[in-house]
Structure 1
Amino acid sequence: MSDFGNYTAAGSRADAALDPGLKKFMLGVYQKMGLGLLVSAALAWLTSSYAPVSNLMFVKTPTGGLAGFTLLGMIVSFAPLVILLGSNFMMKRASASSANILYWVIVALVGASLGTVVLMYAGASVVTTFLITAAAFGGLSLAGYTTKRDLSGMRSFIFFAMWGFVFAGIAFSIGASFGLFSVGPVFMIMNAVGILLMAGLIAAETQHLKMIYYSVRGDGESMSAATSFGALNLYIAFVNLFRFLLYFMGVRRD
């Protein structure tokens, strides 16, 4: 949901298969994203399974499931949204160090809030859905990497749509809590739309990263910042795709 690294693609659309620099750049993005997912998984386990931490963030049912959030849990859950929204206005041309810090702060906060997934769904379904998400991500990213079609227009649309989607989701949650409408059908539609948006974002963002590379190659500072921003956008898309798929595929705990 963070539209960072809006470099103008002044470079060539050279054949990516013949450009070792591009391969190295993309590998750096994927490695950083993958490490972020590992850190998130560890933090999700910590906040869901280690009682001294879990009790600070979540209210649990007698069987150990999720019943609600503490004040700290609410702050941790909404902090990434606030930080990303603020960063969109304050970090248009961030340094490599600030982009790196932003990435790891978001990873830590999102990872901590993902403890809700472990508390709400059976472990086997969480693992299965994660593997399916990883496979889908790989296919979609490969499609964005290899396609000759310009996806920049779709990428811009998805970023605007995602912010509207987020605020609509908040309004929906508030309305549902007051009994203004039913959770089931509307929530199902929102998750289906979310899957489509994330699928498009993964492909479009991968292509966009190629254009960023051609625009900033040779500038070490910009390349490093672009790696962090690229990993951040793909990380957010992966986590959200995982959440949306889990709604349809996950088996809830009793």
Structure 2
Amino acid sequence: MQTRPTVLAVPYGTAIDRGTAHRVLRNTYALLSMTLLFSATVAAAAVAFSLPAPGLILTLVVYFGLLFGIHKLKNSAGGIGLVFALTGFMGWTLGPLLTRTLALPAGGQAIALALGATGAVFLALSAYATTTKRDLSWMGGFLFAGMVVALLAGLAAIFFQIPALALTVSAVVALLSAGLILYETKQIVDGGETNYVLATVSLFVSIFNLFTSLLQLFGFASSDD
């Protein structure tokens, strides 16, 4: 007796293999958990050893270079290795920010708040994305355009030393990152993303951006106490 694969009908008329979607989501969360732990370990080491920030140019070159490599090797073990290289590097870049935040009067509390808020947002949005039947595919273009604008504004804030603009960008990036977590998770659930390596990178970057944006906002608030 032959059995037909279980399919999941999504609102916009696409049928996908439910088993494949669940497997991709499970593998994504497993790899995401490991990379988050690895990145946090590297960030803690960067704080402990007072490692300097790699600098904007080096950060951009390494970040986009590793992203390119991950896309090229996404179906091999080498791609997973590059994912750990990327997330470890991002942990290094996070170290100096944590060090500066810890030097503030309520820096430890700001880090705890940012970490707790990031975890709560991720869990809430993941739960919604895996249960809702609504079509969220329209969010992709809007969120991508918003991130491009936010990146350009963030670079302007750095070069022209405009604190108010930097805080505004942090708030916008936090909102956009939350939206991306929702969109990217729904893409996996609906079969729009079938490669767990790429899915892991996308979610990791969104979580990282959400955390750093909240950390800057909470850090600024603690500096005014």
TM-score by length of 2: 0.78
What is the identity, as a one-letter code, of the residue corresponding to 1:44?
A
**Structure 1 CA distance, aligned partners of 2:109 and 2:120?**
17
What is the identity, as a one-letter code, of the residue corresponding to 1:169?
G
Larger RCO: 1 or 2 (CA < 8 Å, sep 6+): 1
**Structure 1 CA distance, aligned partners of 2:224 and 2:47?**
13
How big is the shift at 1:208? 0.5
Q: Which runs of 4+ in 1 moved over 4 A?
A: 18-21, 72-76
The count of aligned residue pairs is 207
Aligned to 1:107: 87
Q: CA RMSD in A?
A: 3.0
Q: Determine if the alignment matches structure 1 residue 117 to structure 2 residue 97.
A: yes
Say whether the 8 Å CA contact 1:198–1:238 is kept in structure 2. Answer: yes
Work out which of the residue numbers 243, 248, 253 in structure 1 matches 2:212. Answer: 243
Aligned to 2:137: 152
**Structure 1 CA distance, aligned partners of 2:152 and 2:76?**
30
Say whether the 8 Å CA contact 1:120–1:252 is kept in structure 2. Answer: no
In the alignment, structure 2 segments of 5+ residues that lack a partner are 1-6, 12-16, 102-106
Deviations 1:23-64 (A, max 9, x none): 34312211211111111111111112125xx2xxx2xxxxxx
Do the aligned partners of residues 83 and 93 (structure 1) sit closer, same or farther apart at CA in structure 2, a change above 3 Å counting?
closer
What is the identity, as a one-letter code, of the residue corresponding to 1:123?
G
User: In the TM superposition, what are the counterparts of 1:40-79 in structure 2 within 5 Å?
Assistant: 40-51=39-50, 54=51, 58=52, 69=53, 72-74=54-56, 77-79=59-61
In the alignment, structure 1 segments of 5+ residues that lack a partner are 1-10, 59-68, 177-181, 217-225
What is the identity, as a one-letter code, of the residue corresponding to 1:106?
L
SS at match of 1:114: helix
How big is the shift at 1:93? 8.2
SS at match of 2:26: helix
Deviations 1:4-27 (A, max 9, x none): xxxxxxx74369xx9455334312
Work out which of the residue numbers 52, 58, 65 in structure 2 matches 1:83. Answer: 65
What is the identity, as a one-letter code, of the residue corresponding to 2:170?
N
How big is the shift at 1:252? 5.0
What is the identity, as a one-letter code, of the residue corresponding to 1:143?
Y
**Structure 2 CA distance, aligned partners of 1:118 and 1:247?**
10
**Structure 2 CA distance, aligned partners of 1:164 and 1:172?**
12
When structure 1 is superposed on structure 2, of 114-123 and 158-167 the one drifting more is 158-167
Q: Determine if the alignment matches structure 1 residue 209 to structure 2 residue 175.
A: no
SS at match of 1:152: coil
Q: Determine if the alignment matches structure 1 residue 192 to structure 2 residue 137.
A: no
